[in-house]
């Protein structure tokens, strides 16, 4: 039973939300420059694992609380981004990574499952859904090829 009357998200602990807020405040102080992880740890006085959980919570909370998008780059480290081109490039790269992961699942797991059980409705359904997701991600990652 939760400790408070309010239902809380089981995936996000209250401490992770506090860490996310600490990260947000630290980055607001240096914006638009950004901070790399070791410096972010020093400024916020959070451990490496707390930073990781805080970053994950930040991405969940950003939409809920209208916080600015948070990106990472080799040059700037973690930074707020309000540049449409930079955000679009990050989203394309994310779609490319996910498309590659889904391709691996389709080729490495689903293909073998389909060979073992060619009449399985589940395999047919799952393959169709995964192929649709992969096609959508490919269109996002490579719109010029469409």
Give me the pLDDT at residue 5, please. Answer: 43
Q: Could you list the pLDDT tens digit for every one of the 146 residues in the chain?
A: 444 445 555 667 889 999 999 999 999 999 888 999 999 999 999 999 999 999 999 999 998 999 999 999 898 899 999 889 999 999 999 999 999 999 999 999 999 999 999 999 999 999 999 999 999 999 999 888 65
Crossing angle of helices 14-30 and 48-65, in 10° steps, is 80
Q: For 41-70, how does the pLDDT look when each residue is reduced to its tens digit (9 = 90+)?
A: 999 999 999 999 999 999 999 989 999 999
81 vs 59: CA distance, rounded Å: 13
Give me the pLDDT at residue 146, please. Answer: 58
Q: Can you read off the two tokens belonging to residue 115?
A: 């060979």
Give me the pLDDT at residue 138, please. Answer: 92
Give the global pTM.
0.73
Give me the pLDDT at residue 112, please. Answer: 93
Strand (E) positions, the chain?
70-73, 77-80
Backbone angles phi, psi at 91, to 5 degrees: -65, -40
123 vs 117: CA distance, rounded Å: 8
């Amino acid at each position: 039973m939760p400790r408070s009357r309010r239902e809380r998200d089981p995936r996000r602990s209250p401490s992770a939300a506090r860490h996310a807020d600490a990260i947000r405040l630290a980055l607001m102080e240096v914006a638009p420059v950004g901070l790399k992880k070791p410096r972010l740890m020093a400024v916020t006085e959070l451990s490496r694992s707390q930073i990781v959980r805080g970053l994950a919570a930040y991405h969940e909370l950003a939409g809920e609380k209208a916080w600015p998008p948070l990106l990472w780059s080799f040059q700037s480290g973690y930074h707020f981004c309000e540049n449409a081109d930079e955000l679009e490039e990050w989203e394309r790269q994310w779609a490319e990574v996910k498309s590659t992961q889904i391709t691996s699942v389709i080729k490495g797991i689903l293909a073998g499952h389909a060979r073992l059980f060619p009449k399985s409705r589940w395999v047919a359904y799952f393959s169709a859904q995964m192929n649709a997701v992969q096609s959508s991600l490919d269109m996002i990652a490579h719109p010029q090829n469409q």
